[in-house]
Amino acid sequence: MIDVIKPSDFDRLFDIEQAAHLVPWSKGTLLNNQGDKYLNLKLTKQQQIVAFAICQTVLDEATLFNIAVEPAFQGKGYGKCLLLELIERLRNQGILTLWLEVRESNLNAQKLYDSVGFNQVTIRKNYYPTATGGRENAVVMALYL
């Protein structure tokens, strides 16, 4: 089941974030990315949140800031299911373009985005921090809705 994230969900979202990302967001960052300008969704299986997406909308554009799937549930299509629902809801809101950045090394995520029609737009050099204190490029992608 896919539904809008509620404030009471953030402890679980933070746990998923910590487990799913190399350099995870802080709980404060998660909490700061909500409100009227956001379409944030969660995917629930057996009454447990297993994935979430954080997406900001501004006028007729949206930016997917974060998508995470609990590692035990990765590779089962939940990320794609969540992304497709997000895209449909954005279309229904009149959004024309969905943007995102993804780590250059995250080939699985890039494959997911390619599979739903995203196009690579550019590279942002040294955009993401790495666990070792270095920097990694981001691939900027867009989906025209």
Dihedral angle sign, alpha carbons of residues 15, 110, 103, 61: negative
- Long-range contacts made by residues 86-89, C-beta under 8 angstroms, separation at least 24? 86/39, 86/41, 86/53, 86/55, 87/116, 87/143, 87/145, 89/39, 89/41
Kindly report the CA angle at 108 between 103 and 127, in degrees rounded to 5? 0
Q: Show which residues are catalytic.
A: 101, 113
